[in-house]
Structure 1
């Protein structure tokens, strides 16, 4: 993958000038504000035809439905900004959910350990992805696509036709999936906290900003002393850990699991991340934008259901938004690069 380097390198807080950084921040904020406005418009238009769409239960369902995709989107964002991609997140989610459910069913583990074990499963899968990509220098698209099928196959062997039912899961664990705090689902609160922490880290810490530098220009990042392999490995590790946590939360939400858990999630996650403003070519984007992208896609899905429109349109709309977002990001990158180069040339003449 390739992209223009001038506008995106600055988002990392690296070598870009203050003008570059300010311009890109304004563009990203405008993109996120636009997505938030679009979410509100979809909700209002749908509510005109179906007044129940604004009911508390409907809004809670909207947030809950977007939560897991948003959580997976946080890890995916870290990977994509480095010019990589993780297509194994759905399979990791499914494997994590079943292993945790199996341990609850046959070994009666403590409630808290279910989340720890889920994260641990994801860390192992993320470490394998990261090692193959960085140590063997295999393209991440190939590695994670292969891992998608490998993990799904391992999941199928472990499940072997079995199914974890709700009676096997402790109520203290499933409470995370259905309880609310002041009308806001616990699941949405947990994901919002993760998004807030990740967003702060991406803005404040040098290691996180290095990810943007890598995605903007790997050669320049290497010359600047950025430990590229270590940073990319860490991004895959975090993506795997969050996918493992999402598996535990998936089990808490649905209270049952078989070998189909998380099937197809990877495409929904990539679509949400890119629609949310994370450049598929790497180097720019935020986890907040990715979370808003997840909410937007789920809002559209719920709006179609409320309008009694075929669910197949949801996939068509998501695909169309993905194509538009990629084309827009590319056009914007080229346009901003030309503007910055013109400004730099004028400054030199002076």
Structure 2
């Protein structure tokens, strides 16, 4: 009997890894099937395009993972992205000699301010995350239209140095992909090997116990929403550089895609659980679907339906896995 319980314990511990391996296996099988339908899918050129198109999503998914782990949600990131992208685009069009690094810094600071406002509403005013972020989403979207006067900033108004941010390379790697890799490495270290990173998970797992243990929950919440805003601001600049266009409705609804990437990657929507590796795989899967479905001539309407079914399946699997983990924890306590 003891041996059976030990086996169950071991299985419960390995469940998160099994989930990620299962997602990786699904991505491999899906890629093979798509390659059979269209031999151009796994070409170097298409893979490069896929990675570049997925980079922005994956950067945002890192921040959203931290927010969801603390039992929160941020619906304002699409509007934050649009606002930071618009202000940066207007700045570089007025001052074309500005260095691209300054443009990236400007967008990041704007996003950081936006994220900190949402964080203050949640951590200090005790407003529910979904309400606070939904309200600020409309505020930021309105500000985007106000600063632009309702007009666009087109490619011919932007200097070449700014548009080259998305097309240039660093050490032979596209700049978008390179930035995404750096961000993943930094946050992997942050959540895995720092005290603050562990406190983020503690807040999401059991807020009452975290408070009793001396963790300042309000500071943790303010920090994660500020980080989310900073990443949204950074991606706003990358987005505008990539598409060479800044519009008032940029990234409308994109926050749902980011949340979907996190859920697909195994981030528990109830908080307390999530891994960087899972978020990478979730973002990659969505990127593959967006890239591959048009290549195999799937109708745009069916594309949305297929993505919705896959997300729903991921949520169901996540619930089942969570129940098994809780059962494993219960068995360990009984021992």
What TM-score bracket applies, with the shorter chain setting the length?
A: over 0.9
- Using the TM superposition, give the Cα deviation of residue 101 of structure 1 relative to its aligned residue in structure 2, in angstroms: 0.4
Residues 77 and 273, structure 1, Cα contact 8 Å, conserved in 2 = yes
- Using the TM superposition, give the Cα deviation of residue 50 of structure 1 relative to its aligned residue in structure 2, in angstroms: 0.9
Residues 273 and 293, structure 1, Cα contact 8 Å, conserved in 2 = yes
**Corresponding residue number in structure 2 for 1:84:** 72
1:330 aligns with 2:319: yes
- Using the TM superposition, give the Cα deviation of residue 300 of structure 1 relative to its aligned residue in structure 2, in angstroms: 1.2
**Corresponding residue number in structure 2 for 1:151:** 140
**Corresponding residue number in structure 2 for 1:68:** 56
1:101 aligns with 2:89: yes
1:200 aligns with 2:193: no
Distance 1:23 1:237 in 2: 37
Q: 1:331 to 1:96 in 2, by over 3 A?
A: same
- Using the TM superposition, give the Cα deviation of residue 155 of structure 1 relative to its aligned residue in structure 2, in angstroms: 0.7
1:283 aligns with 2:251: no
**Corresponding residue number in structure 2 for 1:59:** 47
Residues 82 and 249, structure 2, Cα contact 8 Å, conserved in 1 = yes
Residues 178 and 185, structure 1, Cα contact 8 Å, conserved in 2 = yes
Distance 1:257 1:81 in 2: 31
Q: 1:52 to 1:180 in 2, by over 3 A?
A: farther
Structure 2: runs of 5+ lacking an equivalent? 1-6
**Corresponding residue number in structure 2 for 1:228:** 217
SS in 1 for 2:41: helix
SS in 2 for 1:87: coil
Distance 1:150 1:188 in 2: 31
**Corresponding residue number in structure 1 for 2:331:** 342
Q: 1:107 to 1:186 in 2, by over 3 A?
A: closer
Residues 9 and 331, structure 2, Cα contact 8 Å, conserved in 1 = no
Q: How does 1:182-193 map to 2 (within 5 A)?
A: 184-193=173-182
Distance 2:58 2:301 in 1: 22
1:130 aligns with 2:106: no
- Using the TM superposition, give the Cα deviation of residue 180 of structure 1 relative to its aligned residue in structure 2, in angstroms: 4.1
1:49 aligns with 2:27: no
Distance 1:22 1:285 in 2: 19
- Using the TM superposition, give the Cα deviation of residue 25 of structure 1 relative to its aligned residue in structure 2, in angstroms: 6.2
Tell me the TM-score normalised to structure 1 length: 0.89
- Using the TM superposition, give the Cα deviation of residue 224 of structure 1 relative to its aligned residue in structure 2, in angstroms: 1.0
Instruction: Give me the CA root mean square deviation.
Output: 2.0
Distance 1:46 1:219 in 2: 48
- Using the TM superposition, give the Cα deviation of residue 184 of structure 1 relative to its aligned residue in structure 2, in angstroms: 4.1
1:301 aligns with 2:290: yes
1:261 aligns with 2:250: yes
Q: 1:110 to 1:343 in 2, by over 3 A?
A: closer
CA deviation vs aligned residue, 1:213-253 (integer Å, no higher than 9, x gap):
11111111111111111001100000000000000111121
Q: 1:25 to 1:312 in 2, by over 3 A?
A: farther
Structure 1: runs of 5+ lacking an equivalent? 1-18
Residues 203 and 210, structure 2, Cα contact 8 Å, conserved in 1 = yes
SS in 1 for 2:45: helix
Residues 71 and 246, structure 1, Cα contact 8 Å, conserved in 2 = yes
- Using the TM superposition, give the Cα deviation of residue 32 of structure 1 relative to its aligned residue in structure 2, in angstroms: 2.2
Tell me the TM-score normalised to structure 2 length: 0.93
